[in-house]
Structure 1
């Protein structure tokens, strides 16, 4: 095996290198992007503690809107987000940092496909500097993780690989198991999963 796409786990990385002879490791985009969204969520949870109970509850209810792409918000949603950004400079800063990262990520995907990896790297460095100029410790911790895994993260843009298909299968499998309220026999669970995914002639092992 020459290439492995994985989450940002040192334990998994060590095991992969030991078992597979140091293959090329690619950081899965879903897993490295979520550190930025976790940082935003951490700031929201921290600052809303100082809000009036009414606003604290309302802010929590719209937490998904802070995570959503700014351009996909309708006018009503934009007003809701702006209301709470006005209540906290830290929350506004966190929101802008999230948007900066998201813009870099979208541009980096295109640049990576075109082989412009130096631009991908420079854009990432610019994001680091933006965060380092910010007082938000949540984002400082997030970019430290990105720095620790920078090679693997940049590989994801250079090679355009991710675990999206496998993650989708895993999520569907979890739903099957949950909806069945448990299977007593593994072979029945296995057959149900294979039937759902229509793997009549699978070329790999399951379980």
Structure 2
């Protein structure tokens, strides 16, 4: 229930959420920060290229909220966001993703783990798999 969007919670989920958030003030503040970030992210995705300045201002507002709350884990995460701010904002400007490449890398790592001890065989298997992936049959 902590991960779900607040609008998508059932009555039972809301009851549990209110109960747990009432037990710890820091948890409540952290949950509100999470909801604030999710709200900013949804708005940024909807704005896209059209309102990048508004997206950047929303991110700055989120930074201020985190600094006011002073929760160490969020402050550390914000430092990372600030270091990569240009890249984060560019992700809303351009529709490119490295997801496909990450998928290939993940598949290669899994094959590497499975082929432990068969190093000569592994390179050929990886190359064949990616070359003939569209056929649908397992080559090698």
Place the TM-score, normalised by the shorter chain, in its bin: 0.7 to 0.9
Q: Secondary structure at the match of 1:67?
A: coil
Counterpart Cα distance in 1 of 2:106 and 2:84 = 25
Structure 1 position 80 matched with structure 2 position 13: no
Structure 1 partner of 2:26: 90
Q: TM-score, normalised by structure 2?
A: 0.75
How far residue 109 of structure 1 moved from its aligned partner, in angstroms, is 1.9
Structure 2: unaligned runs, 5 residues or longer: 134-140
Q: Which has the higher contact order (CA 8 A, sep 6+)?
A: 1
Counterpart Cα distance in 2 of 1:142 and 1:98 = 12
Q: TM-score, normalised by structure 1?
A: 0.54
**Which of 123, 131, 139 is matched with 1:199 structurally?**
131
Question: In angstroms, what is the RMSD of aligned CA positions?
Answer: 2.8
Q: After TM superposition, which residue ranges in structure 1, 4 or more long, deviate above 6 angstroms?
A: none
Structure 1: unaligned runs, 5 residues or longer: 1-64, 202-207
Q: 1:160 to 1:84 in 2, by over 3 A?
A: same
Q: 1:85 to 1:199 in 2, by over 3 A?
A: farther
More helix by share: 2
Structure 1 position 184 matched with structure 2 position 117: yes
Q: How many residue pairs get matched?
A: 134
Structure 2 partner of 1:99: 35
Counterpart Cα distance in 1 of 2:126 and 2:87 = 32
